[in-house]
């Protein structure tokens, strides 16, 4: 079952991420997709803040992965936009099973490297402020999370 959420501001997206964080669990994987400027990094900022991470969150476009160890759980923020599809040096599965939370921007680029159980969030720009987020849970933990939050 897919869920829809209409965000009318960056604040709405930020708060949604905080609400999803409230249902977090170890080894959670969240995959974000949508055009440039659609709100993916805003989502990560809200999630990180709710985790207790005080660092400035920016998209790790040139680093691929930024690790934040100072929250309730470790957060692994990935941006795979510039990743070569054949690059196996990242060790995605190691991150997925590390006990932390992995959030991947542009996740559609690495479809074949994503875990079966995950939460997909697809951002669609409607206008300058409005986004429609399609949230797709894969696995019972993610379905329960969506039913609790949405």
Which H or E element spans position 145?
A: helix 140-149
Neighbours of 58 (CB within 10 A): 13
pLDDT tens track for 84-142: 655 666 788 899 999 999 999 999 999 989 999 999 999 999 999 999 999 999 999 99
For the chain, first and last CA: distance in Å?
12
Highest mean pLDDT among 53-57, 78-82, 89-93, 142-146: 142-146
**What percentage of the chain reaches a pLDDT higher than 90?**
80
Number of domains within the chain = 1
The alpha carbon torsion through 45, 49, 53, 56 (nearest 10 deg) reads 40
Mean pLDDT, residues 3-32 taken together: 97
Output the domain CATH number for residue 55: 3.40.50.300
Using pLDDT thresholds of 50, 70 and 90, give the confidence band for residue 64. confident
Q: Per-residue b/e over 104-124, b at no fewer than 16 CB within 10 Å?
A: bbbbebbeebbbebbbbbbbe
> What average pLDDT does the structure give for the chain?
93
* Contact (CB, 8 A) for 55 and 67: no
Please give the pLDDT value at position 89. 63
Please give the pLDDT value at position 85. 55
Q: Which domain holds residue 143?
A: 3-149
Token output for 143: 């379905």
Mean pLDDT, residues 57-68 taken together: 83
Strands 101-105 and 28-34: parallel
């Amino acid at each position: 079952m897919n869920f829809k959420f209409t965000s009318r501001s960056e604040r709405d997206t930020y708060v949604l991420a905080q609400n999803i964080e409230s249902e977090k669990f170890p080894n959670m994987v969240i995959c974000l997709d949508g055009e440039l400027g659609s709100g993916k990094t805003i989502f990560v900022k809200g999630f990180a803040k709710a985790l207790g991470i005080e660092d400035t969150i920016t998209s790790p476009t040139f680093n691929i992965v930024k690790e934040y160890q100072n929250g309730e759980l470790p957060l692994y923020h990935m941006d795979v936009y510039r990743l070569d599809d054949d690059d196996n040096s990242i060790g995605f599965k190691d991150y997925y099973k590390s006990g932390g939370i992995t959030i991947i921007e542009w996740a559609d680029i690495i479809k074949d490297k994503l875990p079966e159980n995950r939460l997909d969030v697809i951002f669609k720009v409607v206008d300058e402020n409005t986004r429609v987020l399609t949230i797709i849970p894969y696995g019972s933990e993610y379905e329960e999370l969506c039913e609790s939050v949405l």
